[in-house]
């Protein structure tokens, strides 16, 4: 590796991010620009931005490392990530846009006419968002440690400061331009090295035994049925509960535009997952010694120099480092802009000034957590967020769109029970280090926490003496009425 080249790559990404952000600042003037880009983002541009923020550190670095470690098991993650958008497309994309809300708490309050439900939703959004930002900051720290030997805190602080500044300066409209650019940078940063490495391995001296690259215990015959099903359920439904994903649909001009955006997103993220997974497979051939927990997340950064010693390998590594920083910045920015909208409206006045202050606060909290904690596996860290999102927000959002009988008390009970169950299960599993008969059910609790949250929501709503408001029918009619465009 060449530390100078790698740092130049990082610097170029930072400069490009700042320049695009400055352009976005020039066109961000109104409150609507800051919260939802005045609902004017067209499908291809919006899909690029959504893909840019969705493809996080866990995908850019962690997915290849997971495939290196676990072989075929690692493919559950890209399958679940991409397929989750199918559920978003079918069930919630267009209705959320037609609701006229700015944020998920906005939608819940408008649907249930309850301040208490809004506050619980806001708390869930903040917890999920902050938990998701922390792995991005850890990933930035890991990257600079590997490529330049810098202290781990440098990467985390750099990303947090840049994200806070860009979100505070231009809000959703500016971040949309930045994230769209960063998606194409990330795809290029992995695709180019993958193509060259694949050609080199196909014509080089790297003899390999398919039984070693794809061992039977890492294939379907080695899967635990419960853990695999529970993981896939968390990934499928968790997407529907991620605040930075759902807020993007409020930026579409119409409900139909939101649907088209989702279709394009599925194609874009699937293309990226194919490239990232291929990098992991290539690593099983050329760098099997890196298949060690804690080290595997660095394989994307180390593999080019393994295959191409010299300047060419260093150039490919610099390109990957630039793409990795784009991943940290894009996902963190999407999360901060969605959280800033929530805090600005729920705690402050909902003005542009309060949005900017909220953006700074939303970046500061996860930065403090990242500096005080040690990095875990990037994919597993992101997987925890999907479990919690699927167990708290997803059932309420889905029922809020499709079930007239949902009440505020039912929504609050469901979110609290699902969030507590998922959180306690994961904490207990970490405490006992996976020992015992209950370990699989604690390690992957989504298969029982999601039904629990849904059942509690439905039962409490049915037993609630307060029936849904008469305005519920008008609200549901509006979100389900097809629109043009």
pLDDT at 177: 78
pLDDT at 295: 80
Confidence band of 484 (pLDDT split at 50, 70, 90): low
Q: What is the average per-residue pLDDT within 323-345? A: 84
pLDDT tens-digit series, residues 423-437: 999 888 878 766 667
Confidence band of 59 (pLDDT split at 50, 70, 90): confident
* pLDDT of 289 higher than 80: yes
pLDDT at 193: 94
pLDDT tens-digit series, residues 178-216: 888 888 999 999 999 999 998 888 765 555 556 655 555
Looking at every residue in the chain, the average pLDDT score rounds to: 83
Confidence band of 485 (pLDDT split at 50, 70, 90): very low
**pLDDT > 90 in the chain, percent:** 23
pLDDT at 39: 62
pLDDT at 296: 82
CA of residue 366 relative to chain centroid, distance: 15
The more confident residue out of 86 and 483 is 86
pLDDT at 459: 96
* pLDDT of 379 higher than 70: no
Confidence band of 440 (pLDDT split at 50, 70, 90): confident
Contacts of 386 (CB under 8 A, 6+ apart): 80, 234, 235, 238, 239, 242, 446
The domains of the chain, with CATH numbers, are: 3-376 (1.20.1730.10)
pLDDT tens-digit series, residues 97-145: 888 777 788 899 999 999 999 999 999 999 998 888 888 888 888 888 8
Please say whether the beta carbons of 206 and 58 come within 8 A: no
Q: How far is CA 51 from CA 9, 25, 230, 326, in A?
A: 21, 22, 25, 12
* pLDDT of 221 higher than 50: no
pLDDT at 434: 61
pLDDT at 217: 55
pLDDT at 13: 87
* pLDDT of 28 higher than 80: no
Most confident of 44-48, 51-55, 125-129, 329-333: 125-129
* pLDDT of 409 higher than 60: yes
């Amino acid at each position: 590796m060449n530390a100078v080249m790698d740092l130049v790559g990082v610097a170029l990404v930072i400069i490009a991010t700042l320049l695009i952000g400055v352009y976005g600042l020039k066109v961000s003037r109104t409150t609507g620009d800051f919260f939802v880009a005045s609902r004017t983002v067209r499908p291809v541009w919006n899909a690029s931005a959504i893909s840019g923020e969705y493809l996080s550190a866990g995908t850019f670095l962690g997915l290849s490392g997971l495939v290196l470690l676990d072989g075929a098991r690692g493919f559950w993650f890209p399958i679940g990530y991409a397929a989750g958008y199918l559920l978003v497309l079918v069930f919630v994309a267009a209705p959320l846009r037609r609701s006229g809300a700015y944020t998920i708490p906005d939608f819940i309050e408008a649907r249930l006419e309850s301040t208490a439900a809004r506050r619980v939703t806001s708390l869930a959004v903040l917890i999920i968002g902050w938990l998701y930002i922390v792995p991005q900051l850890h990933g930035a720290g890991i990257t600079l440690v590997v490529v330049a030997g810098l202290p781990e805190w440098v990467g985390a602080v750099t990303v947090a400061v840049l994200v806070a500044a860009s979100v505070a300066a231009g809000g959703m409209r500016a971040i949309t331009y930045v994230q769209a650019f960063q998606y194409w940078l990330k795809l290029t940063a992995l695709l180019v090295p993958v193509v060259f490495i694949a050609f080199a391995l196909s014509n080089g001296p790297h003899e390999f035994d398919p039984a070693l690259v794809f061992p039977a215990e890492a294939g379907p015959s080695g899967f635990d049925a419960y853990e695999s099903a529970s993981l896939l359920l968390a990934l499928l439904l968790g997407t529907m509960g991620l605040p930075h994903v759902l807020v993007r649909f409020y930026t579409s001009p119409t409900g139909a535009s939101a649907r088209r955006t989702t279709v394009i997103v599925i194609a874009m993220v699937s293309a990226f997952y194919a490239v990232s997974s291929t990098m992991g497979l290539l690593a099983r051939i050329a760098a099997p010694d890196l298949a060690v927990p804690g080290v595997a997340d660095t394989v994307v950064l180390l593999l080019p120099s393994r295959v191409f010693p010299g300047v060419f390998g260093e150039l490919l590594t610099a390109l990957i480092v630039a793409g990795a920083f784009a991943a940290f910045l894009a996902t963190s920015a999407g999360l901060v802009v969605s959280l800033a909208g929530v805090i600005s409206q729920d705690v402050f006045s909902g003005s542009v000034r309060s949005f900017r202050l909220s953006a700074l606060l939303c970046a500061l909290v996860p930065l403090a957590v990242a500096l005080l904690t040690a990095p875990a596996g990037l994919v597993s860290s992101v997987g925890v967020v999907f479990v919690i999102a699927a167990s708290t927000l997803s059932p309420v959002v889905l029922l809020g769109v499709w079930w007239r009988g949902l009440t505020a008390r039912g929504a609050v009970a469901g979110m609290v029970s699902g969030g507590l169950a998922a959180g306690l299960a994961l904490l207990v599993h970490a405490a006992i280090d996976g020992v015992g008969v209950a370990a699989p059910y604690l390690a992957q609790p989504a298969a029982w926490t999601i039904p629990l949250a849904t059942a509690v929501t439905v039962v409490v709503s049915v037993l609630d003496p307060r029936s849904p408001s008469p305005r519920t029918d008008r609200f549901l009619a509006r979100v389900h009425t097809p629109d043009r465009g």
